[in-house]
Chain A
Amino acid sequence: MPVLWLVLIVFALGALGFVLGRRRALGGAGGDIRLLHSLPSYYGTNVALLTVVPALFLLGIWLLVQPIVVDAKVSALLPDSAISEGTTRDLVMSDVRRIAEGLDKAVAEGAMTHAQARDIRAEFTDVRNRLGAVGVALGSRVGAPELFAAQRYRRIAGEGSLAMTGAVLALALGGFALSLIRTTPSFRARNSVETGIRYVLIFAATIAVLTTIGIVLSLVFNTIDFFRLYPAWDFFFGTTWSPSFGGGSDLGILPLLWGTFYISIIALAVSVPIGLFAAIYLSEYATPHVRAFAKPMIEVLAGIPTIVYGLFALLTVGPLLLKVFGQDGVGLMQAGTAVVTAGLVMGIMLIPFVSSLSDDIINAVPQSMRDGSLGLGATRSETVRQVVLPAALPGIVGAILLAASRAIGETMIVVLGAGAAANLSLNPFEAMTTVTAKIVSQLTGDADFASPEALVAFALGMTLFVITLGLNVFALYIVRKYREQYE
């Protein structure tokens, strides 16, 4: 694990820097702490920071960039003839990477020497068998161009790693030396350390932005790849969803969107009345004792992982509904996994979400408004209906929108409880599927990532991301606008 070692070495240098920096500052002041600008430990920290932070930063960037550069270089070496009919350059490159990893492993386990791994020729050696012996299974016979590319890959990657080790160590040592030289009693070590820490803090804060950028980029690039293979019009307006991994599949999003919205609507129809009335009762009627018991109990529902709800839908609610509405009962339902099953269970999951958000909003309505209404002779329910709720309405709408965005993005309940067939139907007792469930099923199969059947998951993810983001932004806007009114 050379990277781990590299990190450890850098940290060891940093620790050494701390000790030396501190000693040098104290030594420069002749041991009299009053002659120093900053406390001695700041001089040490300054050296340690300048040693560790830039070096690790470089290491991180290098690790991210190197695979791209190496891939591009090796990919350019592959002749077009090496890419046979039915595969793509990306697929061949992934074979090349596997061969390279296999060679690395063979060397690590002593099955090959470095020279052998560098020089073997596919014409003379059965590379597949040799690598199979160390537990690296390769799909097909290793051809000469692939093996040659893999050897080049190893060489370039090896050179890159060596250069990286050199550069990182040089930067660490440079920072170490520079900051140690600058360590004099009059050096403003505290200011320097604080500026450094400030940059570290800023970097931490930008990670949230980087995450968003990562999400958007990974969705956008793969979605573009998908639309190159499959027309966007058919994706957005197609009414059949029947992926077949052999090719020639229909990938229309409409049945999935319909399933998503249908299940969400049922979930909201369950959770909004229950959650809202529970919030009204708990904030306007309940005695402190009842509130202290019931509120946390309902919120327990929010702390239960979604996999539990999924299992509840699949194994408890589904069979129960089947008993009532199935062949032996009303005769509407074919199987336990259906839109109502998922909708009902998702509704249960959302009750605490709606109730605690509404509770906050109802509590934010000023007491004077209630007092005014009660003073005019209105009953409590009239006060709630005619004064409190209208005042809280924008906030409650915001809460419902947030709940809707939760419902649309929910995965485990629909994966386990809603079924797998994509249907455009009005019958809530039928199995339907959703955007999230199909993302899971398209990406957990054995499809290769270059096929439209796998790439469609990214287009689905993009759609999901845009819808939930839109709902959230809108909901937060409404809630914020409302909050300002009474503060």
Chain B
Amino acid sequence: MTDVPFTDASSGPARPARTGSLLEADARTRRRNAAEARFRLYGIAAVGVGLFFLAALLYAIFSNGIGAFQQTGYTLQVEFREDVLDKTGNRDLEDIKSVKTFAYSPLLRAAMLREIETHGIDTPLADAKVTGFSSPLDKLFSDGARSTLRDMVLADPSLIGQTVAVRILASSRVDGYLKGRVSRESIERDKNLDAVHLDLIDKLRDAGVATKGFNLAFITGPDASDARPEQAGLGVAMLGSLYMMIVVLLLSLPIGVAASIYLEEFAPQNRFTDIIEVNISNLAAVPSIVFGILGLAVFIQFVHLPQSAPLVGGLVLSLMTLPTIIISTRASLKAVPPSIRDAALGVGASKMQAVFHHVLPLAMPGILTGTIIGLAQALGETAPLLLIGMVGFIASNYPDGAISGFLAPNSAMPAQIYEWAKRADPAFYERAWGGIIILLLFLMTMNIIAIILRRRFERRW
């Protein structure tokens, strides 16, 4: 062995000898470290921006929507005068029904004037004149207040002649004023309310007559027309969503599970199977509006199912949810180890028995998780519902039973929110945000159930 003299490995262009301390970074290292820090900062900033958007969104939802859960009303002593409501005095229900809604206006005004008097409030409205059928006092009340009184009387004619404490809904402008949505400046251009009204409202609030209370009617009540935002509720639309979800669950869970079992356990490797698989992955990415077009063309134009019916909405959403359920079901079937199947087949079970008796029960938690997540997606979906006509009308009738629940025109929660967002009166915006809070609560509950199911039952093999 000859001694080979060591040659300098870096025989390229010679780098200048390092000057200065080893402990001190040179310019190039400093630059690289700075770049490293910058890069890291970009990452932190990106995560921060994402979280900020989430916070901003949630803040916007809650700060705007929480108001919908409170509603202003007056506690008034209403005297149901016999000379107005039942002139004949025989308490005949038909006679009482013949008294029109606007005949109840004087009762409301009198009750309000009495409150103004007992609390010694000084307001020019106290001696406002009644012109025709209207008085400036009417602007304080919701348009629906009179029919509330009428419904009370029709339900219990013995009220006539008595004086009863009733909570009367305030008009949406009054409600907006107490919630800070309507200001004295904005009222100047508004013919629905005047400054004198606001002075009166201030005093009524101090006297404890005008109060804000929990708005149960928003959660359970029906939608109301354009002129009565203070009465609009989400109740009927919630039922519409419920019926749609029943359809989605009944159709997409069995069909989705059956399709996944076939594809995962039985399908031979051939052209047909490939077509189905490609189809499913593409369907998952088809824009939801296209499913709306499908629903309109096939279910409404072709099969002549009733328009705006939750059944049609449910059918469309089922088709949309199907790919989601199939994909998650296949994943959970795949996660069941082959040893389970082998063991079942080994003791003489048929393939079908192995799948249905052993694989499927083990995959069930995963399937249910996927189904709940699919349902949550379907619950929030709006675009296809617009095309099958679940918007554009006032969802004010509760379905009378299961069949009309599926077939009678109804709205759905997201469609109702859209409907409110499109109306002209800004009082509806508060309702829309409030509706979103309810919708998000539902979605959150469903997702939490899904997470709990997964944590509790999912097995790692």
Q: Does A206 contact B (CB under 8 A)?
A: yes
Mask for A177-209, Cβ within 8 A of B = 1, else 0? 000000000000010001001101110111111
- A sample of 16 inter-chain contacts (CB < 8 A) reads A218-B298, A274-B49, A275-B46, A281-B43, A298-B51, A305-B381, A305-B382, A306-B380, A308-B439, A311-B417, A315-B64, A315-B429, A381-B35, A381-B40, A439-B289, A468-B285
Mask for A400-414, Cβ within 8 A of B = 1, else 0? 001001001111100
**A201-B259, A277-B45, A298-B50 known; A316 vs B285 contact (CB < 8 Å):** no
Q: Which A residue's beta carbon lies closest to that of B42? A: A277
- Given A218, A219, A309, A310, which contacts B418 in the complex, CB threshold below 8 Å? A310
Q: Does A387 contact B (CB under 8 A)?
A: no
- Give chain B nearest CB distance to A301 CB in angstroms: 6
Q: Chain A interface: which of B107-115, B124-132, B319-327?
A: B319-327
- Chain B residues with Cβ under 8 A from A202's Cβ? 262
Q: Are B290 and A464 in contact (CB under 8 A)?
A: yes
Majority SS at the chain B contact face? helix
Q: Does B301 contact A (CB under 8 A)?
A: yes
Q: Does B47 contact A (CB under 8 A)?
A: yes
Q: Are B258 and A312 in contact (CB under 8 A)?
A: no
In the bound complex, what is the Cα–Cα distance between A165 and B58 (angstroms)? 55
- Given B36, B303, B381, which contacts A381 in the complex, CB threshold below 8 Å? B36
User: Which of B36, B49, B53, B61 has the most CB atoms of chain A within a 10 A radius of its CB?
Assistant: B53
Q: Are A436 and B289 in contact (CB under 8 A)?
A: yes
With A205-B258, A473-B282 known, 18 other A-B pairs at CB within 8 A are: A4-B403, A67-B303, A194-B351, A194-B352, A197-B352, A202-B262, A215-B291, A218-B302, A282-B47, A305-B443, A310-B421, A311-B436, A355-B50, A385-B39, A411-B289, A412-B382, A440-B387, A468-B285
Q: Does A338 contact B (CB under 8 A)?
A: no
Interface size for A (C-beta < 8 A) is 92
In the bound complex, what is the Cα–Cα distance between A348 and B58 (angstroms)? 13
**A274-B49, A307-B418, A381-B39 known; A405 vs B285 contact (CB < 8 Å):** yes
- Chain A residues with Cβ under 8 A from B56's Cβ? 316
Q: Are B440 and A308 in contact (CB under 8 A)?
A: yes
Q: Does A469 contact B (CB under 8 A)?
A: yes
In the bound complex, what is the Cα–Cα distance between A215 and B381 (angstroms)? 18
Q: Are A306 and B383 in contact (CB under 8 A)?
A: yes
Q: Does A63 contact B (CB under 8 A)?
A: yes
- Give chain A nearest CB distance to B434 CB in angstroms: 11
Q: Does B163 contact A (CB under 8 A)?
A: no
- Given B54, B60, B280, B439, which contacts A208 in the complex, CB threshold below 8 Å? B280
Q: Are A205 and B319 in contact (CB under 8 A)?
A: no
Mask for A464-482, Cβ within 8 A of B = 1, else 0? 1100110011001000000
- Chain A residues with Cβ under 8 A from B370's Cβ? none
Q: Does B255 contact A (CB under 8 A)?
A: yes
In the bound complex, what is the Cα–Cα distance between A208 and B280 (angstroms)? 6
User: Which residues 408-461 of B have a CB within 8 angstroms of A?
Assistant: 414, 417-418, 421, 429, 432-433, 436, 439-440, 443, 447
User: Which residues 274-307 of A have a CB within 8 angstroms of B?
Assistant: 274-278, 280-282, 284-286, 294, 297-298, 300-301, 303-307
**A204-B258, A440-B383 known; A410 vs B54 contact (CB < 8 Å):** no
Q: Are A201 and B432 in contact (CB under 8 A)?
A: no
- Chain B residues with Cβ under 8 A from A444's Cβ? 386-387, 389, 391-392
